[in-house]
Amino acid sequence: MRILGRHAGMNQRELAEKLGVAQSRVVALVDSLESAGLIIRKRSAIDRRSQVLQLTDSGHDLLTKLRGAAETQEADLAEGLSADDRDHLYELLLKLSDARGLDRDVHPGYRADE
């Protein structure tokens, strides 16, 4: 959902590529999110054969709640660190992530069940 929130209008193939999984796996994920009322599929204005994915209002609301929960958890984990220490830790974690070729938008555990 975060990927769709950041890249509104991507199609299922693009989402599968971003996640690094088979397109068939994304179909089931998209079906679930659509059934829950969190996303919709719409015909692409550019390519009528393709459908783009967009968050619904409920999807945006949930994403906002999830972001708040993540920020609270991050604050709890970093409690006791100064603002400079938190910034430095963040920079180091980004270096580790980049050195391992991890995508900042994709949790690596998602790819483990391919």
Condensed to tens digits (0 to 9), the pLDDT of residues 22-32 reads: 888 899 999 99
Determine, yes or no, domain membership for 111: no
Quote the pTM value: 0.73
Domain that holds residue 77: 2-102
Determine, yes or no, domain membership for 109: no
Determine, yes or no, domain membership for 45: yes
Domain at 19, CATH number: 1.10.10.10
Determine, yes or no, domain membership for 113: no
Q: What is the mean pLDDT of residues 85-89?
A: 92
Residue 111 has pLDDT above 60, yes or no: no
* Per-residue model confidence (pLDDT) at position 107: 61
Residue 4 has pLDDT above 80, yes or no: yes
Give whole-number Cα distances, 110 to 36, 75, 84, 103, 114, in Å. 20, 24, 32, 12, 8
Give whole-number Cα distances, 88 to 29, 54, 104, in Å. 36, 35, 17
For 70, the 3-state DSSP assignment is helix
Determine, yes or no, domain membership for 61: yes
Number of domains in the chain: 1
Determine, yes or no, domain membership for 92: yes
Q: What is the mean pLDDT of the chain?
A: 87
